Amino acid sequence: MSSELRGKKIAILATDGFEQVELTEPRKALNNAGATTVVIAPKNGEIKGWNKKDWGQPVKVDLPLADANPHDYEALLLPGGVMNPDHLRMDPAAVNFVRQFVSTGKPIAAICHGPWTLVEADALRGKTVTSWPSLKTDIKNAGGNWVDQAVVTDGQFIFSRKPDDIPAFNKAIIEALVHAQEHAHA
């Protein structure tokens, strides 16, 4: 286990229907790099993952959204899955949390359908974004420039398209956090 991200708290905002590997794999990579990951959801207890074509494993909710403060975290992870971001973008508290996080300027990583919540928060204007291809029109309509690449970094944002991109996605997130840390100590 590496310690390059020791002391860093990473928020993972999700709800029922998150794509299983898009939460568990980045979380494992961040934890292995020494970070502390905190699963935040609009409800207590646990949230249910979606594993390709059916319900997957539940994940324990570490903190209810009502008690979460964006300023307590070094980065925000938005996993995909169709249901998860669709529910989050309809939840004013979730959209507000994301909007506040954007205003901190700290890294935000969104994969697959994850950028939907950023569309709702009006955060993608002028940004280069990748996502699951079905979000292309939504992202363009929100003022973003959609591209088809494994990973895209634009300012504070890191985007990937799908589970196959997770290794590149994880690497980009960790690099962004190490980079932010170096700038904080400069």
Specify the 3-state DSSP secondary structure of 30.
helix
- pLDDT tens-digit readout, 22-36: 999 999 999 999 999
Catalytically annotated residue among 112, 179, 183, 185? 112
What was the pLDDT predicted at 180? Answer: 81
- Residues in CB range of 180: below 8 A, 6 or more apart: 74, 75, 106, 107
Q: How much is the pTM?
A: 0.96
What pLDDT, in 10s, does the model give residues 65-98?
999 999 999 999 999 999 999 999 999 999 999 9
Beta bridge partners of residue 100, listed in sequence order: none
Class of 9-185 per CATH?
alpha beta
Is the pLDDT at 1 greater than 70? The verdict is no
Report the alpha-carbon distance of residue 174 to residue 155 in Å, rounded.
Answer: 15
- Rg of the chain over Cα atoms, rounded to whole angstroms, equals 15
Which amino acid, one-letter code, is at 48?
A: K
Per-residue pLDDT reduced to its tens digit, 141-182? 999 999 999 999 999 999 999 999 999 999 999 999 998 877
**Would you call 87 a catalytic residue per the annotation?**
no
Which residues, 6 or more positions from 64, have their beta carbon under 8 angstroms from its beta carbon? 40, 41, 42, 43, 44
113 catalytically annotated: yes
Q: Domain map of the chain by residue range? A: 9-185
Q: Choose, from 87, 113, 179, 183, the residue flagged as catalytic.
A: 113
